[in-house]
A and B are shown apart, each in its own frame.
Chain A
Amino acid sequence: MKIFIDPPNSLVLFDLVERFGHEPLSAMAAIQERVDNIEIDMPPMNVTLDDVVKGLKYAGVEVPSGVRGRLAVWGPMIEEAEAAIVMDECPYSFGCVGCERSNLMVKYLLKRRGIPVLHVDYPEDDAQATDLVARIKEFLEGLQ
């Protein structure tokens, strides 16, 4: 099954989803399409007119361009997904490389789609990490 991961470029989630036999939908694959097929200077920093139009489907024109740009890449993946895993409170999904508004929009879009979504917390110690792995394994095996 196709699993959307949030953060969409997370190494841990990408690896775990593949390890337990599913196909992760990640930002890397979406950006690779733009690197290989469309000759734009530096995706995802630079976008095409199509991306801007796609972004408008998920967020209004008054929303900051960073949110709309992110959703132009992530939105089609959310539509394609059959299930999703969301890691809450990731330190790197907020700040210079992240955007909290985009994260909230992603959670809203996932809820609106009505697909099975697993929310896990960013692990702070070994016990929480074990719980995270076990929870993800149980969720992914339950989808088969």
Chain B
Amino acid sequence: MSEERETRLFMISPRSMLTPDQLVRMVHAFGEEAIVKETCYGCLVEGPRSKVLEIRDKVREDHPNEVFTKCRAYPCSDPRRCRAQHGTRPGFAQLEEEWALLARIQRGLEAVDKGAKPSPREERKKLSVNEFKRICEVQE
């Protein structure tokens, strides 16, 4: 991963009361040397990797289960991606789908913080020969 530049996407869970505007103001208030761009789902932060990771940690400290992040390949406002410059914006369909899922993940994280454990999974058993024969006969 590049050490010089990191662009990170911060997405707010739909269950959160935080708005993209509040998130951007909060990131600006950290006073780190990074570009911050407000988006409909949260914000983009771009800067040297160490600074961006500091911002990520501070955001997680204030809003541990409400803001989710991942890195982004293209820089902010890249004409190949940015819609303001008539970019194609591929991948937005996936972001939209995952945005809807974040509400459930937020609840999951809160439950795990309170001590929720994974439910035991049923072990897959081998099919007996008689059962297999019965299935074959039904399909005939």
Contact = CB atoms under 8 A, between A and B. Distances in A.
Given A15-B68, A92-B93, A134 B5 contact: no
Interface string A13-56: 01110110000001111011111100001110000000000000
Main secondary structure of the interface of B (DSSP, over half): mixed
Interface stretch (B18-26, B96-104, B131-139): B96-104
B4 to A, nearest CB: 8
Contact-residue bracket for chain A? 35 or more
Contacts, number: 109
A35 B73 contact: yes
A97 B91 contact: yes
A43 B72 CA distance: 13
A118 B60 CA distance: 25
A138 B109 CA distance: 13
Interface of A: 9-12, 14-16, 18-19, 26-29, 31-36, 41-43, 91-92, 96-97, 123, 125-126, 128-135, 137-138
27 contacts: A9-B70, A9-B94, A11-B11, A12-B68, A12-B98, A12-B102, A15-B69, A15-B70, A26-B70, A28-B70, A28-B71, A28-B73, A31-B73, A32-B2, A32-B74, A33-B1, A33-B2, A35-B73, A35-B75, A92-B97, A97-B91, A126-B108, A130-B107, A130-B111, A130-B112, A131-B119, A134-B111
